[in-house]
């Protein structure tokens, strides 16, 4: 039998290696992260013009829209200020670094945040400052009575799972008469938080108190005007134990604000979300389930507020 000639050999189908599309998507994500980071200190239009090859990748991925001949970021990524651009970039960078750790051979699976290196913890924490600013600027003003509460001298905010205290600091800056208490179970992350606050060196940083405490062990009664709870970072059992204590820690009429993951819109993102939750020691609650859970704990006036595209949905409720 004669050997096939090159012209008789079927060309490989793009479907023979679907990982090629995934690899290209990884580069597109890297381009988005770098562009958002640059846009933290420069006009987005200038950033896109300065790196046409990178901008071409964004456009091919559908992340660019054209206004005439001029490229512009998709509306989902047109953030209101440089700090929010930076926060959005850092959040995606943290996730990408965790994925890289898995690809490089970290098969551990269930170590959670304790297994992350300091750089990942700091990046994730600093990204949370954007959520703090969103709470202060867009959420507090529309929740009945909360702005007045937090404007009063001696008002108190509890930041559960404070991490590196970036969100706690953002709230302290936004509410100059409030004391912010940040609690976490990891001593290592609290050490990072203490250094971050010391480096900030501001009056607001001096109003942030850090404690090594499990939210499930809180004993304070009617102590806080607002509580922030980043629900995805708690294991399901820990979350179930903490919610009754947090409810009791609210002052009458005070609000709890819970960060949640919105329901994933497709099978791949649902599968990835489940994997990330297990790896990071979290839970599979989504926005709708958390809303029902708060109601079951006797809280009322529950509402849902999206933050940045792809970011958490804030679920709020208040104590009678």
Q: What does pTM read for this prediction?
A: 0.73
Pairing of strands 250-260, 313-318: antiparallel
Supply the pLDDT for residue 6: 44
In angstroms, the Cα distances linking 270 to 2, 261, 262, 284, 287 are 50, 11, 10, 10, 14
CB atoms within 10 A of CB 8: 8
Supply the pLDDT for residue 118: 77
**First vs last Cα of the chain: how many Å apart?**
86
Q: Which run of H or E residues covers position 143? A: none
The alpha carbon of 216 is separated from its chain's Cα centroid by a whole number of angstroms, namely 22
Q: What is the token pair recorded at 239? A: 């979350």
Q: Find where tokens 């003003």 sit.
A: 141
User: What are the residue ranges of helices labelled H in the chain?
Assistant: 19-38, 44-50, 52-60, 82-103, 118-134, 146-151, 166-174, 187-200, 236-249, 267-279, 287-296
Q: What is the token pair recorded at 29? A: 């994500």
Contact assessment for residue 61 and residue 27, using Cβ atoms and an 8 Å cutoff: no
Which of the 8 DSSP states describes residue 2? P
Q: What string of pLDDT tens digits covers the 320 residues of the chain?
A: 444 444 444 555 555 678 888 999 999 999 999 999 999 999 999 999 999 999 999 999 999 988 778 899 998 888 888 877 887 888 788 788 878 888 887 654 444 566 667 777 777 777 788 889 889 999 999 999 999 999 999 999 999 999 999 999 999 999 999 999 999 999 999 999 999 999 999 999 999 999 999 999 999 999 999 999 999 888 889 999 999 999 999 999 999 999 998 877 888 888 888 787 777 778 878 898 999 999 999 999 999 998 766 667 899 999 99
Q: What distance in Å separates the CA atoms of residue 56 and residue 61, rounded to the nearest whole number?
A: 9
């Amino acid at each position: 039998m004669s050997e096939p000639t090159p012209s008789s050999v079927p060309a490989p189908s793009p479907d023979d290696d679907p990982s090629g599309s995934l690899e290209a998507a990884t580069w597109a994500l890297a381009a988005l992260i770098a562009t958002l980071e640059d846009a933290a200190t420069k006009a987005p239009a200038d950033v896109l013009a300065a790196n046409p090859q990178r901008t071409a990748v964004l456009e091919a991925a559908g992340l660019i829209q054209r206004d005439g001949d001029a490229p512009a970021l998709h509306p989902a990524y047109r953030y209101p200020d440089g700090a929010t651009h930076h926060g959005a970039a850092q959040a995606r960078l943290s996730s990408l670094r965790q994925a890289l750790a898995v690809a490089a051979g970290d098969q551990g699976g269930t170590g959670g945040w304790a297994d992350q290196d300091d750089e990942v913890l700091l990046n994730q924490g600093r990204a949370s400052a954007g959520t703090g600013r969103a709470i202060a600027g867009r959420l507090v003003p529309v929740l009945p009575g909360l702005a007045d509460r937090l404007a009063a001298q001696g008002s108190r905010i509890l930041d559960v799972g404070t991490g590196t205290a970036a969100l706690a600091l953002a709230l302290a800056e936004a509410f100059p008469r409030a004391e912010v208490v940040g609690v976490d179970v990891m001593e290592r992350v609290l050490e990072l938080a203490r250094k971050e606050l010391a480096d900030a060196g501001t009056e607001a940083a001096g109003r942030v108190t850090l404690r090594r405490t499990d939210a499930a062990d809180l004993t304070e009664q009617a102590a806080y005007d607002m509580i922030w709870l980043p629900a995805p970072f708690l294991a399901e059992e820990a979350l179930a134990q903490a919610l009754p204590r947090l409810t009791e820690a609210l002052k009458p009429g005070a609000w709890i604000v819970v960060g949640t993951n919105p329901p994933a819109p497709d099978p791949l993102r649902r599968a990835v979300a489940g994997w990330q939750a297990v790896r990071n020691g979290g839970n599979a609650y989504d926005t709708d389930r958390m809303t029902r859970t708060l109601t079951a704990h006797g809280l009322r006036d529950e509402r849902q507020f999206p933050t940045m595209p792809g970011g958490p949905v804030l679920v709020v409720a208040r104590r009678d």
